[in-house]
Amino acid sequence: MIETLQVVVLLLVAAGATGVVLIRSPVRQVVALSVYGLLLAVLFLVFQAPDVTLSELTVGAVILPILLLLALAKVREREK
Amino acid sequence: MTVLPYLVVVWILAVGLYGMVTSRHLIHLIMCLIVVQSSTYVLLLAVGYRNGAVAPYFSDIGVHTPAVDPVVQALALTDVVVEAAVTGLLLAFAVQAQKRFGTLDPHELVQIKG
Amino acid sequence: MSPAARRWVFLAAIAGLAAFYLWGLAGLPGFGHYPGPYGLIINKIAVAQTNATGVVSAVNFEYRGFDTVGEEFILFMAATGMSVVLRHLRGERERPGLERGIGADEPPTSDAVKQAALVFVGPVLLMGWWLASHAQTSPSGGFQGGVVLATAFILIYLSGGLLTFRRISPVTLTDAVEAVGAAGFAAVGLAAVLMGLPFLYNYLPLGIKPGAVSSSGTIALISFFVGVEVAAAFVLMVGEMLEQTLLVRGEAAT
């Protein structure tokens, strides 16, 4: 039996993934990706997996955005 | 309703792949790849879930309490961290590609020869 | 191929994939009806066999330790590969100024960001250390602790700028720490082989009370090495990207 909370978070995750892909500007997409990482972390917690939550939280909210933003800054400066 | 997690998995995969196929910016493509990778985490955890079970940590509950599958959690856990490192390597490639070819458009990069 | 044709080919392919996926889905038990034997068996015997109450970490470093060695070396190679890929091409030079104390070409950071990042460095460092050393007792472990430790260094960059970040984590030291972490894991496994046991056998004393910090033998030791290696790898990667963005200038000769 699937719980209501799990259904809600699953639908939010599906909507979040669609949102990340449909945004075309890379800088805005980084912010959307960060929010998507947070939603995924909540989903993993609701699926009774706290270890995976800890990993995804830090990776999705800190490490991936900083690598992406630095790469974007580097390529934007050369495009000028 | 019991197949909803698996449908969400294939939706995330399809949406991410669509973003990759129709992308015009290499870094947008890398972010869509991150979305595709996240679908596998959801699939792994959905396969191991048990109704009414708790997380598999037995420091304060009895050993025979029903718990979810720990093997798929171990797989997903290392998966998350290693994919972040591989994404970093891909970003380094994208930066060097922009320096070498002057463009980040995948459609134009295909036509450059050597 | 024009973008519209590309889109249609993609839709046809994804329809085929979805059809196969749904066909395979029909054979699965529904969500929540977990049939498989391995999860049930491991949950029953893991605490008795390894004295570790965190079963996920026991699976990661003991029952499935060989796979974890492989994954950790993927991480190691990704960090090394990034340093190799971001080498200086012909015609590029690095901006002088880092050694003379003049900051790189950074826009000025607001004081609020600096203060907030500085306040959190200590707690995040403590939390990362706690996570990396408590793998066998609670939801924690080498991989999680390592990324949280790397976050502490990123906060140091946010509050102090590139100069402070480089002083605290110079490249040679981070390289050495990462190598120690990766080699330590392999060495713990090889020491078992030298003793005549299988690779990565749990040969340290298992402790008395399940769930204590000094229990479960090699699991705690391996988790510490993995934590150190993951943290160093991510600090190395972020440092490389920072230098590439802020310091390297010039036109690369094609």
- Subunit contact C32:B3, Cβ cutoff 8 A: no
3-state class (DSSP) for residue C15: helix
In this predicted structure, the answer to whether residue B26 has a pLDDT above a threshold of 80 is: yes
Q: Measure CB to CB from residue B51 to each of A1, A33, A72 and give the nearest one.
A: A1
In this predicted structure, the answer to whether residue C254 has a pLDDT above a threshold of 50 is: no
Residue percentage of chain B with pLDDT more than 70: 96
Give pLDDT, residue C95. Answer: 65
A11-64 residue pLDDT tens: 999 999 999 999 989 999 999 999 999 999 999 999 989 999 999 999 999 999
- Subunit contact C143:A55, Cβ cutoff 8 A: yes
In whole angstroms, give the CA distance from residue C251 to residue C253.
6
In whole angstroms, give the CA distance from residue A55 to residue C111.
29
In whole angstroms, give the CA distance from residue B30 to residue B32.
5
C62-107 residue pLDDT tens: 888 889 999 999 999 999 999 888 887 766 666 665 554 445 556 6
ipTM for the predicted complex comes to 0.91
Instruction: Confirm or reject contact between C221 and chain B (CB < 8 A).
Output: no
pTM for the whole thing?
Answer: 0.90
Whole-angstrom CA distances from A47 to B48, B55, B72, C34 are 9, 8, 12, 13
Residue C234's pLDDT band, with cuts at 50, 70 and 90, is very high
Query: Among C44-48, C97-101, C216-220, whose mean pLDDT is lowest?
Result: C97-101
Interface partners of chain C (CB pairs < 8 Å, 3 or more) are A, B
In whole angstroms, give the CA distance from residue C183 to residue C195.
18
C139-158 residue pLDDT tens: 888 899 999 999 999 999 98
Give pLDDT, residue C98. Answer: 54
B61-91 residue pLDDT tens: 877 888 889 999 999 999 999 999 999 999 9
- Per the prediction, chain C carries an average pLDDT of 84
Q: Mean per-residue pLDDT for C11-34? A: 88
- C146 Rama sector, left if φ>0, alpha if ψ -120 to 50, beta otherwise: alpha
- Contacts C139 to B, Cβ<8 Å: 55, 57
In this predicted structure, the answer to whether residue B98 has a pLDDT above a threshold of 80 is: yes
- Subunit contact C148:A1, Cβ cutoff 8 A: no
Interface partners of chain A (CB pairs < 8 Å, 3 or more) are B, C
Residue percentage of chain C with pLDDT more than 90: 30
Determine the residue among B27, B40, B75, B105 to mutate to test chain A binding: the one whose Cβ has the most chain A Cβ atoms within 10 Å. Answer: B27
More confident residue, B2 or A11: A11
Determine the residue among B8, B51, B81, B101 to mutate to test chain C binding: the one whose Cβ has the most chain C Cβ atoms within 10 Å. Answer: B81
- Contacts B81 to A, Cβ<8 Å: 55, 59
Instruction: Confirm or reject contact between C154 and chain A (CB < 8 A).
Output: yes
Instruction: Confirm or reject contact between B14 and chain A (CB < 8 A).
Output: no
Residue A1's pLDDT band, with cuts at 50, 70 and 90, is low
Query: Among B3-17, C19-33, C101-115, whose mean pLDDT is lowest?
Result: C101-115
Residue B41's pLDDT band, with cuts at 50, 70 and 90, is very high
Q: Are C216 and A41 in contact (CB under 8 A)?
A: no
More confident residue, C248 or B83: B83
Burial pattern C238-249, b for ≥16 Cβ within 10 A else e, equals bbbbbbbbbbbe
Give pLDDT, residue C162. Answer: 84
Q: How far is C196 from chain B (nearest CA, A)?
A: 28
Give pLDDT, residue C233. Answer: 94
Structure tokens given for C144: 């999680």
Give pLDDT, residue C91. Answer: 64
Q: Are A48 and B55 in contact (CB under 8 A)?
A: yes
In this predicted structure, the answer to whether residue C1 has a pLDDT above a threshold of 90 is: no
- Subunit contact B88:C21, Cβ cutoff 8 A: no
Give pLDDT, residue C235. Answer: 94
Q: Which residue has the tokens 């609020």?
A: C112
